[in-house]
Amino acid sequence: MAADETPPFRVVVLVSGDGSTLQALLDACSDPAYGVLVVAVGADRDGILALKRAESAGVPTFVSRPAEFDSRDDWDRAFAALVAEHRPDLVVSAGFMRLVGSDFLDRFGGRFINTHPALLPAFPGMHGARDALAHGVKVTGATVFLVDEGVDTGPVLAQRAVEVHDTDDESSLHERIKQVERAMLVDVVGRMAHAGWTVTGRKVTIP
C-alpha cells in the first residue's frame, strides 16, 4: 500500500464536559499529515458541548448513561462494546469523568490514555487544579498517562509544567493548564500514531 494510502490511526475520544480538549484533537486531525482520525466520540451524559463539537465536525457520537444499568460492571461492559464497534487503535479520555472497570481495561488497556490537569502522582482525582492551588505549590502542570485500574495512577507518557501565579484562582489556573494540556495531548497522540509506543513496567516509550 503506498505510503500516502496508510489508513489513518483510529481514535475514539471519551468526553463528559465542554470538550475543548476534544476540539484540539479535531482541529489537529483536519491536517492529513497528522495521520489521525477521530472515528467516534463517546459520552456518559447528554447535553454537553463536547457532543455538539463532535457533531459539528461530522464525527459519530454515542452516549451511555451509567444510571440506566443495574450495575457499574454492566455499564462498563456495555460502554466497552460501544467503543469497540469503532475499532479504535487508541482510546483517549478528554475530560471523561468516569472510572472504567475491568471489562474496559481488558479490551483497551495499554491503548487507553487520559489527560490530567496536574503533575501526577501529585493531585489525582476530580480537582487537580483546585488541589494544587489549595496546597500552595508554585508549579503544577498536566500529565498524559496510560489508564490503569487505579485513579490517575497509570504509567506516564508526557508531562508539562505550568507556573502558579499569586493572582490565580481555580478557573484561571485550570484554563492556563488546559492550554498546555491540549497542545501536549495533540503532540502525544500524533507521535503515538506515527511511531507506536512500548510499555515496560511503569515506563512508556514513544520511539
* Minimum CB distance to ligand GRF smaller for 95 or for 141: 95
* Minimum CB distance to ligand GRF smaller for 46 or for 70: 46
* Minimum CB distance to ligand GRF smaller for 25 or for 193: 25
* Minimum CB distance to ligand GRF smaller for 49 or for 84: 49
Please give the residue ranges that form the binding site for ligand GRF (CB under 6 A): 17-22, 50, 94-95, 115-117, 178, 181
Longest CA–CA span in the chain (Å) reads 55
Give burial (CB, 10 Å; 0-12/13-18/19+) of 155.
middle
Q: Is the peptide bond before 121 cis (omega within 30 degrees of 0)?
A: yes
Strands 9-15 and 90-93: parallel
Closest residue to ligand GRF: CB criterion: 95
* Minimum CB distance to ligand GRF smaller for 17 or for 155: 17
Is 116 among the residues known to form the active site?
yes
Distance (Å, whole) CA 98 – CA 79: 11
Comparing CA positions, the residue from 52, 43, 51, 49 lying closest to residue 75 is 43
Write down the catalytic residue from 86, 116, 165, 174: 116
Active site residues: 116
